[in-house]
A and B are shown apart, each in its own frame.
Chain A
Amino acid sequence: MTGPQPVAKPEVVSGSKAGGGPLIRAGTSLIPDRIFYAAVLSCGLCVLGLVGVIVYQLVTKSALSWHAFGWKFFFRGDWDPVSEQFGAWPFVYGTLVSSLLALMLAVPLAIGVAVFITEMCPRWLKGALAFTTELLAAIPSVIYGLWAIFVMVPLLREYVEPLLGRYFGWTGLFEGTPYGIGMLAAGIILAIMVVPIVSSITREVMTAVPQQQREAVLALGATRWEMIRTGVLRNARAGILGGVILGLGRALGETMAVTMVIGNRPEIARSLFAPGYTMASVIANEFSEATSDTYLSALVEVGLALFLVTIVVNIMAQLLVWSVTRGMPARSHG
Protein backbone atom coordinates (compact mmCIF):
# COMPACT_ATOMS: atom_id res chain seq x y z
CA MET A 1 0.00 0.00 0.00
CA THR A 2 1.45 3.26 -1.07
CA GLY A 3 1.18 5.88 1.57
CA PRO A 4 3.30 8.71 2.78
CA GLN A 5 6.86 7.53 2.20
CA PRO A 6 8.68 7.25 5.48
CA VAL A 7 11.97 7.44 3.63
CA ALA A 8 12.11 10.49 1.48
CA LYS A 9 10.33 13.22 3.35
CA PRO A 10 10.47 16.22 1.10
CA GLU A 11 11.73 19.43 2.52
CA VAL A 12 8.71 21.54 3.06
CA VAL A 13 9.12 25.18 2.40
CA SER A 14 6.01 26.60 3.82
CA GLY A 15 4.51 30.03 3.71
CA SER A 16 5.67 32.42 6.28
CA LYS A 17 9.38 31.91 5.78
CA ALA A 18 9.14 34.03 2.66
CA GLY A 19 5.73 35.27 3.63
CA GLY A 20 3.80 33.55 0.88
CA GLY A 21 5.82 31.11 -1.18
CA PRO A 22 6.85 31.53 -4.83
CA LEU A 23 3.88 33.78 -5.56
CA ILE A 24 5.01 36.52 -3.24
CA ARG A 25 5.19 39.02 -6.05
CA ALA A 26 1.89 38.17 -7.73
CA GLY A 27 -0.40 41.20 -7.82
CA THR A 28 -3.98 41.86 -6.90
CA SER A 29 -5.36 41.72 -10.45
CA LEU A 30 -8.00 44.32 -9.73
CA ILE A 31 -7.23 46.39 -12.79
CA PRO A 32 -7.05 43.50 -15.26
CA ASP A 33 -10.35 42.28 -13.84
CA ARG A 34 -11.92 45.64 -14.53
CA ILE A 35 -10.50 45.84 -18.03
CA PHE A 36 -11.80 42.36 -18.80
CA TYR A 37 -15.23 43.24 -17.49
CA ALA A 38 -15.30 46.40 -19.58
CA ALA A 39 -14.27 44.48 -22.69
CA VAL A 40 -16.94 41.82 -22.46
CA LEU A 41 -19.53 44.34 -21.36
CA SER A 42 -18.92 46.38 -24.49
CA CYS A 43 -19.39 43.26 -26.56
CA GLY A 44 -22.72 42.74 -24.87
CA LEU A 45 -23.62 46.36 -25.51
CA CYS A 46 -22.73 45.84 -29.17
CA VAL A 47 -25.54 43.35 -29.39
CA LEU A 48 -27.96 45.92 -28.03
CA GLY A 49 -26.41 48.56 -30.24
CA LEU A 50 -26.96 46.46 -33.33
CA VAL A 51 -30.70 46.66 -32.95
CA GLY A 52 -30.39 50.37 -32.47
CA VAL A 53 -28.28 50.71 -35.59
CA ILE A 54 -30.74 48.65 -37.61
CA VAL A 55 -33.71 50.69 -36.51
CA TYR A 56 -31.85 53.94 -37.03
CA GLN A 57 -30.76 53.06 -40.56
CA LEU A 58 -34.18 51.85 -41.59
CA VAL A 59 -36.05 54.80 -40.15
CA THR A 60 -33.77 57.53 -41.43
CA LYS A 61 -33.37 56.12 -44.91
CA SER A 62 -37.10 55.63 -45.36
CA ALA A 63 -38.06 59.06 -44.10
CA LEU A 64 -38.23 60.53 -47.60
CA SER A 65 -40.77 58.01 -48.77
CA TRP A 66 -42.71 58.25 -45.55
CA HIS A 67 -43.11 61.97 -45.93
CA ALA A 68 -44.09 61.64 -49.54
CA PHE A 69 -46.73 58.94 -49.21
CA GLY A 70 -47.63 58.50 -45.56
CA TRP A 71 -49.67 55.51 -44.39
CA LYS A 72 -51.28 55.07 -47.78
CA PHE A 73 -47.99 53.73 -49.01
CA PHE A 74 -49.00 50.27 -47.90
CA PHE A 75 -52.44 50.34 -49.39
CA ARG A 76 -51.77 51.75 -52.84
CA GLY A 77 -51.28 49.42 -55.73
CA ASP A 78 -49.24 51.52 -58.10
CA TRP A 79 -45.54 50.83 -58.10
CA ASP A 80 -44.22 53.06 -60.84
CA PRO A 81 -40.55 54.08 -60.59
CA VAL A 82 -40.76 56.09 -63.76
CA SER A 83 -43.32 58.53 -62.49
CA GLU A 84 -42.03 58.23 -58.94
CA GLN A 85 -45.28 56.85 -57.59
CA PHE A 86 -44.83 54.07 -55.09
CA GLY A 87 -47.50 51.94 -53.52
CA ALA A 88 -46.50 48.76 -51.75
CA TRP A 89 -49.81 46.94 -51.52
CA PRO A 90 -48.97 44.29 -54.18
CA PHE A 91 -45.88 43.32 -52.21
CA VAL A 92 -47.72 43.14 -48.92
CA TYR A 93 -50.38 41.03 -50.58
CA GLY A 94 -47.80 38.79 -52.21
CA THR A 95 -45.90 38.31 -48.96
CA LEU A 96 -49.04 37.44 -47.04
CA VAL A 97 -50.44 35.05 -49.61
CA SER A 98 -47.19 33.20 -50.26
CA SER A 99 -46.49 32.86 -46.54
CA LEU A 100 -49.98 31.69 -45.68
CA LEU A 101 -49.96 29.21 -48.52
CA ALA A 102 -46.59 27.95 -47.31
CA LEU A 103 -47.89 27.52 -43.77
CA MET A 104 -50.99 25.68 -44.92
CA LEU A 105 -48.81 23.17 -46.69
CA ALA A 106 -45.97 23.06 -44.18
CA VAL A 107 -47.68 22.86 -40.81
CA PRO A 108 -49.49 19.53 -41.24
CA LEU A 109 -46.36 18.03 -42.78
CA ALA A 110 -44.08 19.38 -40.08
CA ILE A 111 -46.27 18.23 -37.23
CA GLY A 112 -46.63 14.87 -38.92
CA VAL A 113 -42.88 14.53 -39.18
CA ALA A 114 -42.38 15.63 -35.59
CA VAL A 115 -44.99 13.21 -34.31
CA PHE A 116 -43.45 10.41 -36.28
CA ILE A 117 -39.93 11.10 -35.06
CA THR A 118 -40.79 11.57 -31.40
CA GLU A 119 -43.53 9.03 -30.86
CA MET A 120 -43.61 6.48 -33.61
CA CYS A 121 -40.13 6.05 -34.87
CA PRO A 122 -38.01 3.00 -34.06
CA ARG A 123 -35.02 4.01 -31.99
CA TRP A 124 -32.41 3.30 -34.65
CA LEU A 125 -34.12 5.55 -37.16
CA LYS A 126 -34.64 8.54 -34.90
CA GLY A 127 -31.16 10.04 -35.10
CA ALA A 128 -30.93 9.69 -38.84
CA LEU A 129 -34.33 11.24 -39.43
CA ALA A 130 -33.69 14.10 -37.06
CA PHE A 131 -30.38 14.75 -38.74
CA THR A 132 -31.89 14.79 -42.21
CA THR A 133 -34.63 17.24 -41.28
CA GLU A 134 -32.00 19.50 -39.79
CA LEU A 135 -30.00 19.10 -42.97
CA LEU A 136 -32.97 20.57 -44.84
CA ALA A 137 -32.59 23.66 -42.70
CA ALA A 138 -28.95 24.00 -43.64
CA ILE A 139 -29.53 24.23 -47.37
CA PRO A 140 -29.06 27.80 -48.52
CA SER A 141 -32.00 29.64 -49.99
CA VAL A 142 -30.33 30.19 -53.34
CA ILE A 143 -29.91 26.45 -53.83
CA TYR A 144 -33.58 25.87 -53.07
CA GLY A 145 -34.27 28.53 -55.69
CA LEU A 146 -31.97 26.92 -58.23
CA TRP A 147 -33.64 23.56 -57.79
CA ALA A 148 -37.04 25.17 -57.88
CA ILE A 149 -36.44 26.95 -61.18
CA PHE A 150 -35.09 23.97 -63.06
CA VAL A 151 -36.83 21.03 -61.47
CA MET A 152 -39.92 22.06 -59.55
CA VAL A 153 -41.27 24.68 -61.93
CA PRO A 154 -41.23 22.45 -65.02
CA LEU A 155 -42.99 19.79 -62.95
CA LEU A 156 -45.62 22.29 -61.95
CA ARG A 157 -46.00 23.56 -65.47
CA GLU A 158 -46.27 20.18 -67.15
CA TYR A 159 -48.18 18.09 -64.65
CA VAL A 160 -49.35 19.63 -61.41
CA GLU A 161 -50.90 22.86 -62.55
CA PRO A 162 -52.83 21.48 -65.51
CA LEU A 163 -54.22 18.85 -63.14
CA LEU A 164 -55.18 21.42 -60.55
CA GLY A 165 -56.67 23.62 -63.23
CA ARG A 166 -58.79 20.81 -64.59
CA TYR A 167 -60.25 19.58 -61.33
CA PHE A 168 -60.16 22.61 -59.07
CA GLY A 169 -60.33 25.46 -61.53
CA TRP A 170 -63.88 26.15 -60.43
CA THR A 171 -62.55 27.62 -57.15
CA GLY A 172 -60.95 30.46 -59.04
CA LEU A 173 -57.62 29.67 -57.45
CA PHE A 174 -56.26 27.68 -60.33
CA GLU A 175 -57.13 29.62 -63.42
CA GLY A 176 -55.13 30.92 -66.27
CA THR A 177 -52.14 29.65 -68.15
CA PRO A 178 -49.93 27.41 -66.06
CA TYR A 179 -46.51 28.96 -66.43
CA GLY A 180 -45.09 27.10 -63.51
CA ILE A 181 -43.58 30.31 -62.22
CA GLY A 182 -45.94 32.12 -59.91
CA MET A 183 -47.53 32.27 -56.49
CA LEU A 184 -48.10 28.53 -56.24
CA ALA A 185 -44.44 27.77 -56.91
CA ALA A 186 -43.40 30.32 -54.33
CA GLY A 187 -45.77 28.86 -51.76
CA ILE A 188 -44.53 25.34 -52.31
CA ILE A 189 -40.83 26.11 -52.12
CA LEU A 190 -41.45 28.25 -49.06
CA ALA A 191 -43.31 25.37 -47.47
CA ILE A 192 -40.36 23.05 -48.01
CA MET A 193 -38.07 25.62 -46.42
CA VAL A 194 -40.30 26.22 -43.43
CA VAL A 195 -40.98 22.58 -42.53
CA PRO A 196 -37.62 22.03 -40.76
CA ILE A 197 -38.15 24.93 -38.37
CA VAL A 198 -41.69 24.08 -37.40
CA SER A 199 -40.78 20.43 -37.15
CA SER A 200 -37.75 20.95 -34.95
CA ILE A 201 -39.60 23.24 -32.54
CA THR A 202 -42.53 20.87 -32.42
CA ARG A 203 -40.14 18.05 -31.61
CA GLU A 204 -38.51 20.12 -28.91
CA VAL A 205 -41.78 20.97 -27.18
CA MET A 206 -43.13 17.46 -27.58
CA THR A 207 -40.01 16.05 -25.95
CA ALA A 208 -40.42 18.57 -23.14
CA VAL A 209 -43.77 17.05 -22.20
CA PRO A 210 -43.03 14.80 -19.21
CA GLN A 211 -43.27 11.08 -19.67
CA GLN A 212 -45.84 10.87 -16.88
CA GLN A 213 -48.38 12.65 -19.04
CA ARG A 214 -48.07 10.03 -21.75
CA GLU A 215 -48.24 7.20 -19.25
CA ALA A 216 -51.30 8.66 -17.59
CA VAL A 217 -53.25 8.60 -20.84
CA LEU A 218 -51.98 5.17 -21.87
CA ALA A 219 -52.97 3.78 -18.50
CA LEU A 220 -56.55 4.72 -19.29
CA GLY A 221 -56.50 2.41 -22.25
CA ALA A 222 -55.88 4.87 -25.05
CA THR A 223 -54.48 3.95 -28.42
CA ARG A 224 -51.15 5.46 -29.38
CA TRP A 225 -52.74 8.17 -31.47
CA GLU A 226 -55.12 9.08 -28.67
CA MET A 227 -52.21 9.24 -26.29
CA ILE A 228 -50.34 11.55 -28.62
CA ARG A 229 -53.38 13.71 -29.14
CA THR A 230 -54.40 14.20 -25.51
CA GLY A 231 -51.17 13.48 -23.66
CA VAL A 232 -48.64 15.25 -25.81
CA LEU A 233 -50.01 17.56 -28.46
CA ARG A 234 -52.52 19.09 -26.14
CA ASN A 235 -49.85 19.89 -23.56
CA ALA A 236 -47.45 21.20 -26.15
CA ARG A 237 -50.10 23.26 -27.89
CA ALA A 238 -48.65 26.64 -27.04
CA GLY A 239 -45.17 25.61 -28.08
CA ILE A 240 -46.35 24.17 -31.37
CA LEU A 241 -48.20 27.36 -32.09
CA GLY A 242 -44.99 29.17 -31.31
CA GLY A 243 -43.14 26.99 -33.77
CA VAL A 244 -45.73 27.70 -36.44
CA ILE A 245 -45.44 31.43 -35.87
CA LEU A 246 -41.66 31.15 -36.00
CA GLY A 247 -42.08 29.41 -39.34
CA LEU A 248 -44.29 32.26 -40.43
CA GLY A 249 -41.55 34.67 -39.47
CA ARG A 250 -39.09 32.77 -41.57
CA ALA A 251 -41.47 32.65 -44.53
CA LEU A 252 -42.14 36.36 -44.40
CA GLY A 253 -38.47 37.24 -44.63
CA GLU A 254 -37.41 34.61 -47.12
CA THR A 255 -35.92 36.23 -50.18
CA MET A 256 -33.89 34.31 -52.72
CA ALA A 257 -35.88 31.17 -53.40
CA VAL A 258 -39.10 33.17 -53.62
CA THR A 259 -37.58 35.78 -55.92
CA MET A 260 -36.46 33.09 -58.26
CA VAL A 261 -39.88 31.53 -58.79
CA ILE A 262 -42.57 34.03 -58.06
CA GLY A 263 -42.45 35.90 -61.34
CA ASN A 264 -41.71 39.32 -59.91
CA ARG A 265 -44.71 41.19 -61.24
CA PRO A 266 -46.45 43.66 -58.94
CA GLU A 267 -49.91 42.35 -59.71
CA ILE A 268 -52.72 41.03 -57.64
CA ALA A 269 -54.64 38.10 -58.97
CA ARG A 270 -56.88 35.50 -57.42
CA SER A 271 -55.33 32.62 -59.24
CA LEU A 272 -52.29 31.01 -57.70
CA PHE A 273 -50.94 30.39 -61.17
CA ALA A 274 -50.38 34.10 -61.68
CA PRO A 275 -47.06 35.75 -60.94
CA GLY A 276 -46.69 37.92 -57.88
CA TYR A 277 -44.16 39.91 -55.91
CA THR A 278 -43.15 39.94 -52.27
CA MET A 279 -41.68 42.63 -50.08
CA ALA A 280 -38.35 40.85 -49.81
CA SER A 281 -38.26 40.18 -53.56
CA VAL A 282 -38.82 43.73 -54.66
CA ILE A 283 -35.97 44.88 -52.45
CA ALA A 284 -33.71 42.15 -53.77
CA ASN A 285 -34.51 42.93 -57.39
CA GLU A 286 -34.65 46.68 -57.45
CA PHE A 287 -32.46 48.01 -54.67
CA SER A 288 -29.21 48.17 -56.56
CA GLU A 289 -30.93 49.69 -59.58
CA ALA A 290 -32.92 52.32 -57.75
CA THR A 291 -32.30 55.50 -59.67
CA SER A 292 -33.74 58.16 -57.45
CA ASP A 293 -33.66 58.94 -53.76
CA THR A 294 -37.41 58.51 -53.46
CA TYR A 295 -37.18 55.13 -55.16
CA LEU A 296 -34.50 53.96 -52.74
CA SER A 297 -36.36 55.42 -49.81
CA ALA A 298 -39.54 53.60 -50.83
CA LEU A 299 -37.64 50.33 -50.93
CA VAL A 300 -36.14 50.98 -47.52
CA GLU A 301 -39.61 51.70 -46.22
CA VAL A 302 -40.71 48.30 -47.49
CA GLY A 303 -37.70 46.88 -45.64
CA LEU A 304 -38.68 48.71 -42.46
CA ALA A 305 -42.18 47.28 -42.64
CA LEU A 306 -40.78 43.81 -43.22
CA PHE A 307 -38.45 44.27 -40.25
CA LEU A 308 -41.22 45.36 -37.91
CA VAL A 309 -43.57 42.60 -38.93
CA THR A 310 -40.96 39.87 -38.56
CA ILE A 311 -39.82 41.23 -35.20
CA VAL A 312 -43.33 41.21 -33.81
CA VAL A 313 -44.02 37.75 -35.18
CA ASN A 314 -40.75 36.39 -33.82
CA ILE A 315 -41.28 37.86 -30.37
CA MET A 316 -44.72 36.26 -30.17
CA ALA A 317 -43.25 32.98 -31.25
CA GLN A 318 -40.41 33.12 -28.72
CA LEU A 319 -42.77 33.85 -25.88
CA LEU A 320 -44.98 30.93 -26.83
CA VAL A 321 -42.08 28.51 -27.13
CA TRP A 322 -40.60 29.67 -23.82
CA SER A 323 -43.89 29.08 -22.06
CA VAL A 324 -43.57 25.36 -22.77
CA THR A 325 -39.83 24.87 -22.48
CA ARG A 326 -39.62 27.25 -19.53
CA GLY A 327 -37.09 29.61 -20.95
CA MET A 328 -34.24 27.23 -21.60
CA PRO A 329 -31.53 29.03 -23.53
CA ALA A 330 -32.63 28.98 -27.17
CA ARG A 331 -30.66 26.80 -29.48
CA SER A 332 -29.78 28.36 -32.78
CA HIS A 333 -32.52 27.49 -35.22
CA GLY A 334 -31.56 26.54 -38.71
Chain B
Amino acid sequence: MGVGIKVEHLNAWFGKTQALYDISIDVPANHATAVIGPSGCGKSTFVRCLNRMHETIPDARATGKVRMGELDVYNGTAAVQIRRRIGMVFQKANPFPTMSIYDNVAAGLKLNGFHDRKRLDEIVERSLKLSALWDEVKDTLRKKSGASLSGGQQQRLCIARALAVEPEVLLMDEPCSALDPISTGKIEELIFQLKENFTIVIVTHNMQQASRVAEFTGFFLLGKLIEFDKTEKIFTTPSDKRTEDYITGRFG
Protein backbone atom coordinates (compact mmCIF):
# COMPACT_ATOMS: atom_id res chain seq x y z
CA MET B 1 0.00 0.00 0.00
CA GLY B 2 1.23 3.50 -0.64
CA VAL B 3 1.43 6.34 1.83
CA GLY B 4 0.17 9.85 1.60
CA ILE B 5 2.22 13.02 1.56
CA LYS B 6 1.49 15.94 3.79
CA VAL B 7 2.97 19.27 2.77
CA GLU B 8 2.96 22.25 5.12
CA HIS B 9 4.04 25.75 4.24
CA LEU B 10 6.43 24.79 1.50
CA ASN B 11 8.39 27.66 -0.03
CA ALA B 12 11.02 27.25 -2.72
CA TRP B 13 13.59 29.50 -4.36
CA PHE B 14 15.93 29.46 -7.32
CA GLY B 15 18.66 31.73 -6.04
CA LYS B 16 16.85 34.95 -5.22
CA THR B 17 13.71 34.20 -7.22
CA GLN B 18 10.90 32.63 -5.24
CA ALA B 19 9.11 29.89 -7.15
CA LEU B 20 6.68 28.48 -4.58
CA TYR B 21 4.70 30.42 -2.00
CA ASP B 22 3.44 28.74 1.14
CA ILE B 23 2.08 25.53 -0.36
CA SER B 24 0.09 23.32 1.97
CA ILE B 25 -1.50 20.20 0.59
CA ASP B 26 -2.50 16.69 1.62
CA VAL B 27 -1.79 14.15 -1.09
CA PRO B 28 -3.95 11.13 -0.29
CA ALA B 29 -2.51 7.61 -0.31
CA ASN B 30 -3.25 5.17 -3.11
CA HIS B 31 -4.79 7.72 -5.34
CA ALA B 32 -3.56 9.69 -8.28
CA THR B 33 -3.33 13.39 -7.74
CA ALA B 34 -2.91 15.68 -10.72
CA VAL B 35 -1.06 18.98 -10.56
CA ILE B 36 -2.20 21.39 -13.23
CA GLY B 37 -1.54 24.99 -14.13
CA PRO B 38 -0.14 27.22 -16.88
CA SER B 39 3.54 27.22 -17.84
CA GLY B 40 5.81 28.54 -15.17
CA CYS B 41 3.30 28.17 -12.35
CA GLY B 42 5.62 26.02 -10.29
CA LYS B 43 4.08 22.59 -10.72
CA SER B 44 7.34 20.92 -11.70
CA THR B 45 9.16 22.72 -8.92
CA PHE B 46 6.53 21.57 -6.42
CA VAL B 47 6.81 17.95 -7.38
CA ARG B 48 10.60 18.09 -7.39
CA CYS B 49 10.50 19.41 -3.85
CA LEU B 50 8.69 16.31 -2.71
CA ASN B 51 11.65 14.05 -3.41
CA ARG B 52 14.31 16.70 -2.88
CA MET B 53 15.35 16.77 -6.52
CA HIS B 54 14.92 20.51 -6.33
CA GLU B 55 18.11 20.83 -4.34
CA THR B 56 20.23 19.23 -7.07
CA ILE B 57 20.04 22.54 -8.91
CA PRO B 58 22.78 24.91 -7.80
CA ASP B 59 21.54 27.81 -5.64
CA ALA B 60 18.11 26.22 -5.17
CA ARG B 61 16.55 25.86 -1.75
CA ALA B 62 13.28 25.07 -0.03
CA THR B 63 11.75 25.58 3.41
CA GLY B 64 8.74 24.05 5.01
CA LYS B 65 7.64 20.62 6.07
CA VAL B 66 7.01 17.59 3.93
CA ARG B 67 5.96 14.36 5.56
CA MET B 68 5.59 11.02 3.89
CA GLY B 69 3.78 8.78 6.27
CA GLU B 70 5.81 9.04 9.46
CA LEU B 71 8.94 10.21 7.67
CA ASP B 72 10.02 13.85 7.63
CA VAL B 73 11.41 14.32 4.15
CA TYR B 74 13.63 17.31 4.90
CA ASN B 75 14.76 16.83 8.45
CA GLY B 76 16.61 13.84 9.67
CA THR B 77 16.69 11.76 6.53
CA ALA B 78 19.29 11.84 3.79
CA ALA B 79 18.06 12.86 0.36
CA VAL B 80 19.26 9.60 -1.21
CA GLN B 81 17.11 7.61 1.20
CA ILE B 82 14.04 9.71 0.44
CA ARG B 83 14.54 9.23 -3.27
CA ARG B 84 14.51 5.49 -2.90
CA ARG B 85 11.06 5.70 -1.38
CA ILE B 86 9.69 8.41 -3.63
CA GLY B 87 10.35 7.56 -7.25
CA MET B 88 10.34 9.89 -10.22
CA VAL B 89 9.56 9.70 -13.91
CA PHE B 90 10.70 12.66 -15.99
CA GLN B 91 9.26 14.60 -18.87
CA LYS B 92 11.63 13.24 -21.44
CA ALA B 93 12.47 9.57 -21.07
CA ASN B 94 16.06 9.26 -19.87
CA PRO B 95 17.19 5.65 -19.90
CA PHE B 96 20.89 5.15 -19.23
CA PRO B 97 22.43 5.08 -22.71
CA THR B 98 25.27 2.68 -21.98
CA MET B 99 23.08 0.04 -20.32
CA SER B 100 20.92 -2.76 -21.61
CA ILE B 101 17.21 -2.90 -20.87
CA TYR B 102 17.80 -5.31 -18.00
CA ASP B 103 20.54 -3.16 -16.53
CA ASN B 104 18.42 -0.06 -16.84
CA VAL B 105 15.60 -1.55 -14.82
CA ALA B 106 18.00 -2.99 -12.28
CA ALA B 107 20.08 0.20 -12.12
CA GLY B 108 18.37 1.69 -9.10
CA LEU B 109 19.03 -1.49 -7.14
CA LYS B 110 22.51 -2.31 -8.39
CA LEU B 111 23.84 1.20 -7.93
CA ASN B 112 22.61 1.14 -4.37
CA GLY B 113 24.47 -2.03 -3.61
CA PHE B 114 21.81 -4.68 -4.11
CA HIS B 115 23.31 -7.55 -6.10
CA ASP B 116 21.26 -10.70 -5.42
CA ARG B 117 21.05 -12.09 -8.97
CA LYS B 118 18.00 -14.25 -8.52
CA ARG B 119 15.97 -11.60 -6.83
CA LEU B 120 17.11 -9.02 -9.37
CA ASP B 121 15.80 -11.20 -12.18
CA GLU B 122 12.46 -11.46 -10.41
CA ILE B 123 12.28 -7.76 -9.70
CA VAL B 124 13.19 -6.80 -13.26
CA GLU B 125 10.52 -9.08 -14.67
CA ARG B 126 7.92 -7.87 -12.25
CA SER B 127 8.70 -4.20 -12.86
CA LEU B 128 8.57 -4.60 -16.62
CA LYS B 129 5.23 -6.38 -16.31
CA LEU B 130 3.94 -3.63 -14.09
CA SER B 131 4.86 -1.05 -16.67
CA ALA B 132 3.40 -3.15 -19.51
CA LEU B 133 6.70 -3.47 -21.33
CA TRP B 134 7.58 -7.08 -20.55
CA ASP B 135 6.07 -8.73 -23.58
CA GLU B 136 7.74 -6.35 -25.95
CA VAL B 137 11.26 -6.73 -24.59
CA LYS B 138 11.47 -10.05 -22.77
CA ASP B 139 13.59 -11.62 -25.51
CA THR B 140 16.08 -8.81 -25.84
CA LEU B 141 16.52 -7.81 -22.24
CA ARG B 142 20.26 -7.96 -22.21
CA LYS B 143 20.99 -7.49 -25.86
CA LYS B 144 19.36 -4.21 -26.67
CA SER B 145 20.39 -0.94 -25.09
CA GLY B 146 17.85 1.15 -23.26
CA ALA B 147 18.22 3.91 -25.80
CA SER B 148 17.29 1.73 -28.76
CA LEU B 149 13.58 1.59 -27.86
CA SER B 150 10.89 3.88 -29.17
CA GLY B 151 9.90 7.00 -27.22
CA GLY B 152 6.86 5.43 -25.61
CA GLN B 153 8.76 2.27 -24.78
CA GLN B 154 11.61 4.28 -23.29
CA GLN B 155 9.21 6.06 -20.98
CA ARG B 156 7.69 2.76 -19.87
CA LEU B 157 11.22 1.54 -19.30
CA CYS B 158 11.82 4.53 -17.06
CA ILE B 159 8.63 3.74 -15.19
CA ALA B 160 9.78 0.15 -14.70
CA ARG B 161 13.13 1.44 -13.51
CA ALA B 162 11.43 3.69 -10.98
CA LEU B 163 9.15 0.90 -9.79
CA ALA B 164 11.97 -1.60 -9.36
CA VAL B 165 13.19 0.04 -6.17
CA GLU B 166 9.68 -0.39 -4.77
CA PRO B 167 8.94 3.19 -3.78
CA GLU B 168 5.81 4.11 -1.93
CA VAL B 169 5.13 7.18 -3.99
CA LEU B 170 5.61 7.74 -7.70
CA LEU B 171 6.05 11.28 -8.99
CA MET B 172 5.49 11.85 -12.68
CA ASP B 173 6.53 15.14 -14.25
CA GLU B 174 4.55 15.46 -17.50
CA PRO B 175 5.45 11.91 -18.48
CA CYS B 176 3.45 11.92 -21.71
CA SER B 177 4.19 15.35 -23.09
CA ALA B 178 6.83 14.03 -25.49
CA LEU B 179 4.82 10.99 -26.58
CA ASP B 180 2.34 10.16 -29.30
CA PRO B 181 -1.35 9.55 -28.39
CA ILE B 182 -1.09 5.76 -28.47
CA SER B 183 1.85 5.65 -26.08
CA THR B 184 0.10 8.23 -23.94
CA GLY B 185 -2.95 6.01 -23.76
CA LYS B 186 -0.88 3.04 -22.67
CA ILE B 187 0.76 5.02 -19.91
CA GLU B 188 -2.53 6.39 -18.68
CA GLU B 189 -3.84 2.84 -18.42
CA LEU B 190 -0.75 2.04 -16.42
CA ILE B 191 -1.41 4.83 -13.95
CA PHE B 192 -4.86 3.44 -13.45
CA GLN B 193 -3.41 0.09 -12.46
CA LEU B 194 -0.55 1.45 -10.38
CA LYS B 195 -2.87 3.52 -8.23
CA GLU B 196 -3.91 0.46 -6.30
CA ASN B 197 -0.49 0.00 -4.83
CA PHE B 198 1.25 3.33 -5.11
CA THR B 199 0.49 6.92 -4.44
CA ILE B 200 0.85 8.87 -7.65
CA VAL B 201 1.38 12.56 -8.22
CA ILE B 202 1.24 13.52 -11.86
CA VAL B 203 2.08 16.91 -13.28
CA THR B 204 0.24 17.58 -16.48
CA HIS B 205 -0.57 20.50 -18.72
CA ASN B 206 -3.28 18.42 -20.33
CA MET B 207 -6.52 18.91 -18.45
CA GLN B 208 -8.26 16.01 -20.16
CA GLN B 209 -5.49 13.76 -18.97
CA ALA B 210 -5.96 15.02 -15.42
CA SER B 211 -9.63 14.27 -15.52
CA ARG B 212 -8.97 10.82 -16.99
CA VAL B 213 -6.45 9.48 -14.51
CA ALA B 214 -6.60 11.48 -11.28
CA GLU B 215 -9.13 11.46 -8.46
CA PHE B 216 -7.72 14.65 -6.99
CA THR B 217 -6.36 17.74 -8.65
CA GLY B 218 -4.43 20.76 -7.46
CA PHE B 219 -4.39 23.95 -9.49
CA PHE B 220 -1.25 26.06 -9.28
CA LEU B 221 -0.83 29.60 -10.49
CA LEU B 222 2.28 31.77 -10.20
CA GLY B 223 3.77 29.62 -7.47
CA LYS B 224 0.69 29.43 -5.31
CA LEU B 225 -1.76 26.60 -4.79
CA ILE B 226 -5.09 28.09 -5.75
CA GLU B 227 -7.37 25.14 -5.27
CA PHE B 228 -7.13 21.47 -4.34
CA ASP B 229 -10.11 19.18 -4.47
CA LYS B 230 -11.68 16.16 -6.10
CA THR B 231 -10.98 16.29 -9.82
CA GLU B 232 -14.67 16.16 -10.57
CA LYS B 233 -15.32 19.23 -8.53
CA ILE B 234 -12.37 21.20 -9.96
CA PHE B 235 -13.49 20.65 -13.49
CA THR B 236 -17.23 21.14 -13.01
CA THR B 237 -17.77 23.58 -10.14
CA PRO B 238 -14.46 25.17 -9.17
CA SER B 239 -14.54 27.38 -6.10
CA ASP B 240 -12.02 29.93 -7.29
CA LYS B 241 -12.57 32.17 -10.25
CA ARG B 242 -8.98 31.78 -11.40
CA THR B 243 -9.42 28.04 -11.54
CA GLU B 244 -12.50 28.51 -13.60
CA ASP B 245 -10.69 30.84 -15.99
CA TYR B 246 -7.92 28.32 -16.51
CA ILE B 247 -10.29 25.38 -16.98
CA THR B 248 -12.33 27.21 -19.51
CA GLY B 249 -9.26 28.17 -21.41
CA ARG B 250 -9.30 31.85 -20.78
CA PHE B 251 -5.55 31.71 -20.25
CA GLY B 252 -2.73 29.20 -20.12
Q: Which residues of A contact B (CB under 8 A)?
A: 2-5, 8, 10-17, 20-23, 26, 28-30
Contacts and interface: CB of A to CB of B under 8 A. Distances in A.
A135 B34 CA distance: 59
Contacts, number: 79
Interface stretch (B6-14, B108-116, B141-149): B108-116
B84 A26 contact: yes
B195 to A, nearest CB: 11
Contact of A15 (B85, B108, B136): B85
A5 B132 contact: yes
B165 A23 contact: yes
Given A5-B129, A22-B123, A29 B78 contact: yes
B55 interface: no
A10 B164 CA distance: 13
Interface in B1-20: 1-3
A29 B129 contact: no
B193 interface: yes
A316 B193 CA distance: 64
Quick one: which of A14, A15, A26 has the most chain B CB within 10 A? A15
B84 A14 contact: no
Given A12-B130, A12-B197, 6 more contacts: A14-B1, A16-B168, A21-B165, A22-B116, A23-B108, A26-B81
Contact of B109 (A2, A10, A23): A23
B193 A4 contact: yes
B78 A20 contact: no
B119 to A, nearest CB: 7
Interface string B191-202: 001001110000
B204 to A, nearest CB: 20
B129 A10 contact: yes
A232 B126 CA distance: 60
B190 interface: yes
Contact of B69 (A4, A14, A16, A30): A16
Given A16-B168, A21-B167, A2 B126 contact: no
Given A10-B129, A21-B84, A16 B3 contact: yes
B186 A14 contact: no
A28 B69 CA distance: 20
B129 A8 contact: yes
Contacts of A22: 109, 114, 116, 119, 123, 165-166
Contacts of A8: 129
B127 to A, nearest CB: 9
B135 interface: yes
B178 interface: no
A29 B119 contact: no
A82 to B, nearest CB: 64
Contact of B2 (A14, A20, A30): A14
Given A10-B126, A22-B114, A22-B119, A16 B1 contact: yes
Interface in B117-145: 119, 123, 125-126, 129-130, 132, 135-136
Interface string B172-188: 00000000000000100
8 cross-chain pairs, A with B, having the tightest CB-CB distances, nearest first: A21-B166, A15-B168, A28-B78, A12-B197, A14-B197, A26-B112, A10-B126, A10-B129
A33 to B, nearest CB: 9
B172 to A, nearest CB: 16
B4 to A, nearest CB: 11
Contact of B189 (A4, A16, A23, A30): A4
27 contacts: A2-B135, A3-B132, A4-B132, A4-B189, A5-B129, A5-B132, A5-B135, A10-B125, A10-B129, A12-B197, A14-B198, A15-B166, A15-B168, A16-B1, A16-B2, A16-B69, A16-B168, A20-B168, A22-B123, A23-B84, A23-B108, A23-B112, A23-B114, A23-B166, A28-B78, A29-B78, A29-B80
Q: Which of B69, B119, B129, B135 has the most CB of A within 10 A?
A: B129
Contacts of B1: 14-17
A11 B168 CA distance: 15
Contacts of B123: 22
